[in-house]
Structure 1
Amino acid sequence: MQSTFQVLYQHDPSIGPRDEDASIMTKRFPLLVLGVIILLLLVFYSKWYPEPDRVSGFIEADEIRLGSRVGGRVAHVYVTEGETVESGAKLIELEPFDLLEQEAQLQFSLAAREADYKRIESGYRVEEKAQAKSKLEQLQARVDLLKAGPRQEEIEAARGRLTLAEVQKSLAEKTSTRLTKLSQEDAISRQELDNANEAVQAATANVVVRQQELNLLEAGTRIEEIREATARVEEARQAWQLMEHGYRIEEQEQAKAARDAAHAALEAIRRQKEELSIQSPIAGAIESLDLQPGDIVASGAPVLSMLDKNNLWVRAYVPQNRVGIKVGQRVRVTVDSYPNQPFTGTISFVARKAEFTPNNVQTLEERSKQVFRIKVAIENRHDMLRPGMMADVWLHPLDDGQ
């Protein structure tokens, strides 16, 4: 180095060490200016084109806990923990116990109520109406007969029977007198005399009976008998009118209500039978299941839980200075598993009230102490996403071209 300096110094004595440093700085100055310009351009670029805002969170899924409203003993378990099932797949089946017998009993009860309702709705049969009318006519004829009284022929016949009875009495008395004289002469036995006396008594009684019959016919029908018969006619008339008009509307409604109640009870049993089979309401994965055939399940208690793989969303927390997002806004979502494949998300929830930053929240500005919780629904195309994945939500909306 020294030899070189000596050579230069000898060649041009006017050049010294300080002049050489100035020459070097003059050559480097454009490079320094260029570096400063580049830094200024980067600053201006960062101001005019800032990096899009983003927050981080985890992908979550709706959890559905399934159970039965009737409970009972487990008959079959068709799935295992972690298994993926389709919507409508049978998961667990319970034993029916006495539901089958209750259903059969209610079916018979419903049939009886249905028949009774149809009978009341149809009204009385033609034969029943005709029978009631015939009874009315019979009782009316009886009243007319009582009002008309006995016929003259009947009275004359009664008088003839009375006359005959009197003749028979006179003959019996003559026979008795003759036999009494013969008895005094011991011409007849005591038995023959007794028989003659009894014949007189019988003839006398017969005359009395015949006389009463004649008196009854001549007196005619008693007013009490006519009133009784008239009341029976009115009763029969009302019964016939009742059959003609049919059942009251209240009776029809009562029969219909009884039928509907039996039908509702049967439907309730059938719904309980449906609850014996626990089916998947969605297409998802079995998250937890600890059940074996023979276990007893309480009514209304969850027996397994599922994750809805078609309804994924990201839970994230947005600082106060970035809370300008709105529900329904479409944003871009990226995950670490697929860094080059962004997904489309939709803001489905923004908390109205701020909260302190949870311990597991990751944001680009940790100085924000209060944040707003948001939910971003994700389109899980081709079934690529899974609950638990880390995801970044880019807060700039997709609709504005950014």
Structure 2
Amino acid sequence: MRTALVAGGALALTALAGCSHQDAPSYQGYVEGEFVYLSSSQAGTLTQLAVTRGQTVGSGISVFTLESGSETAALNQARQQLASARAQLHDIQTGKRPVEIDVTKAQLAQASANARKAALQLTRDEAQFSAGGISRAQLDDSRANAESTAAQVRELSLQIDVARLPGRQQQISAQSAQVEAAQAAVAQAQWKLDQKQVTAPAQGRVYDTLFRVGEWVAAGSPVVQMLPPQNVKVRFFVPETVAGALQPGRALTIHCDGCAADVSAKITYVSNEAEYTPPVIYSNERRSKLVYLVEAHPAVADAEKLRPGQPVAVMLQ
């Protein structure tokens, strides 16, 4: 009898312990992906599609390319215009060419010789006039010729000095503005050309391709749909009694059918508004129907295990 009572007591304690143990509650949810739609700001024919559906690509990898003949020609034209503007600015800053200055120097040498000849002739004519050998009119002509040739020498000397000077500051400023405008045109043409080749902004999986090679792609039309792992999240709903205790950063475990192991995640968002609740006054009996949206992001390394639309069970830690 004593043995039977002890055994019965042990069984009762075991049953009581089993009844007191409760599994951690789980909440139903689903996986959602914030897709990135890759497009170009420029229109053109699709000439190369470098990815396929289901492929994982790295950051900076070329995804697709559009025809760029017009943009390449525009860039070459802008570069030539920039080179021309820079050459004109350099010409203004340096003055005339040495050859042009040499021509003026030769003209100055000729004028100097004429001026010396005119000065000698004036000296002889003055002596002749004093002796009564020539008229005053002839002396006046000799004096005028000497003054004219001397003035021509001074003019050519000044022309050489001016030829060595750079352009006026206003001309240099205006041409410098032309150079800056040409540089901006090159940058704009280069940007438009770069837009014809689109690369992946981050590592991720290609979920769909929306055009085929040879098709015309309008500006802004998505060509590739991809999902970076950091854009994978889980959405689930918890009752009102649980929502108040949840904060961003709290850890949880995600269980999905077919997964080799559960996936860890952290809460990143807790809604402040109830879902699926009509805007009426509710009674205490209906408060259990209030649920709040919660979002959680798994680690980037674990995000590859989840698929958008996949149902999951979430256990809070």
Partner of 2:90: 118
Shift of 1:71: 0.9
Shift of 1:65: 0.6
Cα 1:350–1:216, aligned 2, differ >3 Å: closer, same or farther? farther
Cα 1:149–1:83, aligned 2, differ >3 Å: closer, same or farther? same
Partner of 2:274: 355
Partner of 2:234: 314
Of 305, 309, 312, the residue aligned with 1:384 is: 305
Q: Is residue 85–residue 178 contact of structure 2 (8 Å, CA) maintained in 1?
A: yes
Give TM-score scaled by structure 1 length. 0.59
Cα 1:118–1:244, aligned 2, differ >3 Å: closer, same or farther? closer
AA of the residue aligned to 1:296: W
- Quick one: distance in 2 between partners of 1:284 and 1:326? 28
- Quick one: distance in 2 between partners of 1:369 and 1:254? 74
Are 1:277 and 2:249 matched, yes or no?
Answer: no
- Quick one: distance in 2 between partners of 1:380 and 1:390? 19
Shift of 1:133: 7.8
Report the structure, 1 or 2, having the larger helix content.
1
Partner of 2:65: 93
Q: Deviations over 1:309-331 (max 9, x none)?
A: 45421122333322322223332
Q: Is residue 288–residue 306 contact of structure 1 (8 Å, CA) maintained in 2?
A: yes
- Quick one: distance in 1 between partners of 2:115 and 2:194? 67
Partner of 2:125: 154
Secondary structure at 1:341 match in 2? coil
Q: Where does structure 2 lack aligned partners over 5 or more consecutive residues?
A: 278-285
What's the RMSD between the two structures over aligned residues? Answer: 4.6
Partner of 2:251: 330
| Percent of aligned pairs sharing the same letter | 22
Partner of 1:66: 38
Q: Where does structure 1 lack aligned partners over 5 or more consecutive residues?
A: 1-26, 164-212, 359-365, 397-402
Q: Is residue 129–residue 139 contact of structure 2 (8 Å, CA) maintained in 1?
A: no
Cα 1:389–1:257, aligned 2, differ >3 Å: closer, same or farther? same
Cα 1:92–1:31, aligned 2, differ >3 Å: closer, same or farther? same
Of 130, 137, 152, the residue aligned with 1:216 is: 137
Shift of 1:235: 9.7
Give TM-score scaled by structure 2 length. 0.71
Cα 1:33–1:278, aligned 2, differ >3 Å: closer, same or farther? closer
Q: Is residue 155–residue 214 contact of structure 1 (8 Å, CA) maintained in 2?
A: no
Q: Is residue 135–residue 236 contact of structure 1 (8 Å, CA) maintained in 2?
A: no
Q: Is residue 106–residue 262 contact of structure 1 (8 Å, CA) maintained in 2?
A: yes
Shift of 1:72: 1.1
Of 167, 176, 184, the residue aligned with 1:264 is: 184
Partner of 1:296: 216
AA of the residue aligned to 2:72: L
Matches within 5 A, 1:3-402: 35=12, 38-39=15-16, 45=20, 51-122=23-94, 151-155=122-126, 214-219=135-140, 237=158, 242-243=162-163, 246-309=166-229, 311-323=231-243, 324-338=245-259, 341-351=261-271, 353-357=272-276, 368-379=288-299, 381=301, 383-396=304-317
- Quick one: distance in 2 between partners of 1:54 and 1:254? 73
Shift of 1:333: 2.1
Q: Deviations over 1:225-282 (max 9, x none)?
A: 979x879957974x55555553445544433332233233223222222222233333
Q: Is residue 81–residue 288 contact of structure 1 (8 Å, CA) maintained in 2?
A: yes
- Quick one: distance in 2 between partners of 1:294 and 1:376? 41
